[in-house]
Structure 1
Amino acid sequence: MLDISRIRAITLDLDDTLWPIWPTIARAEKVLIEWLLTVAPGASALLASPDTSRMLRAQVASAHAHLSHDLTVLRRETIRAALRQAGEDESLTDQGFDVFFAERQRVELFDDAIAALEFLSARHPVVALSNGNADLQAIGIGRYFRASISAREFGIAKPDPRIFHEAARVLDLPPAAVLHIGDDATLDAHGALGAGMQAAWLNRGDAVWPHPVAPPATVRDLAALCRLLG
């Protein structure tokens, strides 16, 4: 299903491809709430309530719909909204975000992630292509990547073909020479195919392919991907 002979570079999703994202976010939110408890207990209580936190996130997302690609702005403004609603010092927003963001970089890589990064980067230039806001250097895996393109920095999120085309431009290759690897059937696999790339869908959870076109090459984990490309 892949034309391996055409692959000259790889773009790679990050969240839920190299590490599980929701345990990371949950831990970062817990650390933020604990920090706020000492400086802004009202905001801490608001964010500790699942219903209230969800409401604040929805309000911020609606107010900043034009920045839906920028998870950093949305997180920072949610902290600001909690401080404002609690009548506490909004100047704590940036400090609060920094607390959250530092913890967000403490990811727990999937067991097969480092071996796959070593395998892939030894064969092709690899570019990170993510809608999230992970910091490759802070995580400690920057050496495996030629470049990193985020929706926040580029201004457009996957599955828009323009962000895939930007990665191909950075690599100085046509999209057809690039293989994109990611866990999301729509954002990653279908988006890459629509941009003219090849795609490999990392389907760890046996999800059903949701699109009418045939799915791309599909693997259960990164070790299987390496075997497929090997």
Structure 2
Amino acid sequence: MIAALTLDLDDTLWPVMPTLLRAEAVLQDWLRTHAPATAAAFDVPTLQRLRGEVAHRHPELAHDLTALRLITLREALISAGDDPALAEEAFDVFFAERQRVQWYADVRPALERLAARFPLLALSNGNAELAATGLSAYFVGAVSARGCGVAKPSARIFAAACAELRCAAGQVMHIGDDWRLDIVGARQAGLHTAWIRRPEAALHHGPASPDLDAPPAGQHLHVDDLLALAEALGV
């Protein structure tokens, strides 16, 4: 029944929090040199709080993390008296470091096995760029919340992924770590699902004993990592 797979990226193929913290530290170093007043007024936690305020004021941009970060940087620069035109260069510094992810150990061998059997499509709410992460060779393409104009768990983004794969929803399995965004969203859109709940993850995005009665029926797997998924799918 399954003809193709869609995969979440952050916290499914790599731990995202260490990546973001490192990128924010690199951005802070850049600000100290190029916008010292902003660096003095906005340390990492303060900039994070401002980004939360920006997100609250711009719910229409909830799907676009890049836009929210750019607005945040411009507001911080203006507030501190620095040149707001520096926002794009500052974001580029952050964004380049944000792509330097460290895959989970199972990811490359599992993707080799899965990609030999299924077309794989990245499906992410985040702004990681697949080519920059070093894993694009295993994927036929990517659908992002920013490009789609809507984020998971909306059925629209799952429908866009199925259309990209030229498959019906019932032919596609979505794989992700977040119970609400990935699993419930995908099942309500008619996809099969595989929930990656890594034992080493600091945070599990979902219930310990999930109730599968609410979403529509369909194949559902609950596995510790992608190698276990490959085994379950017989590849």
TM-score, structure 1 length as denominator?
A: 0.93
Partner of residue 221, structure 2: 217
State the Cα RMSD in Å. 1.5
Q: Where does residue 60 of structure 2 map in the other structure?
A: 66
Task: Note closer, same or farther for the CA distance 1:49–1:112 as it changes in structure 2 (3 Å cut).
Answer: closer
User: Displacement, 1:209?
Assistant: 4.6
Distance in 2, matches of 1:209 and 1:11, equals 23
Question: 3-state DSSP class of the match of 1:226?
Answer: helix
Q: Does 1:89 align with 2:93?
A: no
Judged with a 3 Å threshold, the aligned counterparts in structure 2 of structure 1 residues 39 and 148 are, in CA distance, closer, same or farther, namely same
Q: Give the alignment of 1:39-54 within 5 angstroms.
A: 39-50=34-45, 52-54=46-48
Aligned partners of 1:36 and 1:43 also within 8 Å: yes
Structure 2 residue 118 is the aligned partner of structure 1 residue 124: yes
Q: 1:38 to 1:201 in 2, by over 3 A?
A: same
Write the distance in 2 (CA, Å) between the matches of 1:210 and 1:159. 20
Change (3 A) 1:209 1:193: farther
Quote how far apart the aligned CAs of 1:92 are.
Answer: 0.3
Alignment counterpart, residue 173 of structure 1, candidates 167, 174, 181: 167
SS in 2 for 1:199: strand
Q: Partner of 1:111 in structure 2?
A: 105
Structure 2 portions without partners, runs of 5+: none
Q: Does 1:32 align with 2:32?
A: no
- Structure 1: which amino acid aligns with 2:198? R
Do the aligned partners of residues 127 and 44 (structure 1) sit closer, same or farther apart at CA in structure 2, a change above 3 Å counting? same
User: Which shows bigger deviation, 91-100 or 204-213?
Assistant: 204-213
Match in the other structure for 1:141? 135
Matched, 1:208 2:207: yes
Q: Is the 8 A contact 1:185 1:209 kept in 2?
A: no
The question of whether the paired residues in 1 share the 8 Å contact of 2:24 and 2:44 is answered with no
Q: Which residue of 2 aligns with 1:3?
A: none
Q: C-alpha deviations, 1:52-75, integer Å up to 9, x for none?
A: 223311221122210111000011
Q: Could you tell me which residue of structure 2 aligns to residue 14 of structure 1?
A: 9
The answer on whether the counterparts of 1:185 and 1:210 sit within 8 Å (CA) in structure 2 is no
Mean Cα deviation higher: 212-221 or 73-82: 212-221
| Count of aligned residue pairs for this structure pair | 224
Identity across aligned pairs (percent)? 50
Are residue 228 (structure 1) and residue 222 (structure 2) matched?
Answer: no
- TM-score, length of structure 2 as denominator length: 0.91
What is the Cα deviation at residue 227 of structure 1?
1.2
Supply the AA of the counterpart residue of 1:148.
Answer: A
- Mapped to 2, the partners of 1:224 and 1:91 lie a distance apart of 48
Over 3 Å counting, the alpha-carbon distance change for 1:35 and 1:167 in structure 2 is: same
